[in-house]
């Protein structure tokens, strides 16, 4: 595997409450600097606490929230959650991930997606969804590269930095033999 030695310094693991400050740094970077996070105002610790509570209440069991760590610094976050929290939708998940700007294009997004796909396979999910701003070409290209296809578009549903943007939904069907 190309660059596998460099991967050794990055750890993907489940997030803990001690990681919240680092998670906020990653997410709020995208709030303030891009269309990757849709909201316009930086969030506080309650943002991730609400996600944790939602995961714990889900009927489908625990849905992980991961961090990517380099030498005790959080440089990325990723999550798998159910599309809808109803049993008849348990075979479809939604993925999201954010990696600090200086660490992009190092294969970490690919590793996070692989981790989320493995977790989805363990939960017997058949497909994953991702929603991406039309102004985020890098993310759109990433998803298309890894087998997602566009399956829906809501036109001009959001505004940020004084510009309208579409929300594009993408879907990836998972291999049936995942365990």
Q: What residues make up the domain containing 159?
A: 4-173
| pLDDT tops 50 at residue 58 | no
In a domain, 179, yes or no: no
In a domain, 160, yes or no: yes
The predicted structure's pLDDT at residue 53: 54
In a domain, 65, yes or no: yes
The predicted structure's pLDDT at residue 49: 72
In a domain, 28, yes or no: yes
In a domain, 143, yes or no: yes
In a domain, 134, yes or no: yes
Strands 10-14 and 65-70: antiparallel
* Buried-state track 100-112, b at ≥16 Cβ within 10 A, e below 16: beebeeebbbebb
In a domain, 75, yes or no: yes
Residue 25 sits in a domain whose CATH number is 3.40.630.30
The predicted structure's pLDDT at residue 176: 55
In a domain, 167, yes or no: yes
User: For residue range 91-139, what is the model confidence (pLDDT) as tens digits?
Assistant: 999 999 999 988 998 899 999 999 999 999 999 999 999 999 999 999 9
Whole-structure pTM over 0.75, yes or no?
Answer: yes
Our count of domains for the chain comes to: 1
């Amino acid at each position: 595997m190309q660059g596998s030695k460099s991967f050794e310094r990055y750890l993907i693991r489940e997030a803990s409450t001690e990681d919240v400050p680092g998670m906020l740094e990653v997410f709020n970077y995208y709030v303030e600097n891009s269309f990757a996070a849709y909201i316009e105002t930086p969030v506080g610790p309650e943002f991730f606490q609400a996600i944790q509570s939602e995961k714990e209440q889900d009927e489908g069991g625990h849905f992980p929230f991961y961090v990517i760590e380099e030498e005790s610094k959080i440089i990325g976050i990723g999550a798998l959650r159910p599309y809808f929290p109803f049993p008849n939708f348990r075979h479809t998940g939604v993925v999201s991930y954010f990696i600090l700007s200086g660490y992009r294009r190092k294969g970490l997004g690919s590793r996070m997606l692989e981790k989320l796909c493995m977790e989805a396979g363990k939960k017997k999910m058949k497909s994953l969804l991702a929603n991406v701003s039309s102004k985020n070409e890098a993310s759109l290209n990433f998803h298309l590269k890894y087998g997602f296809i566009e399956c829906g578009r809501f036109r001009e549903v959001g505004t940020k930095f004084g510009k309208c943007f579409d929300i594009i939904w993408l879907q990836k069907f998972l291999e049936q033999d995942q365990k």
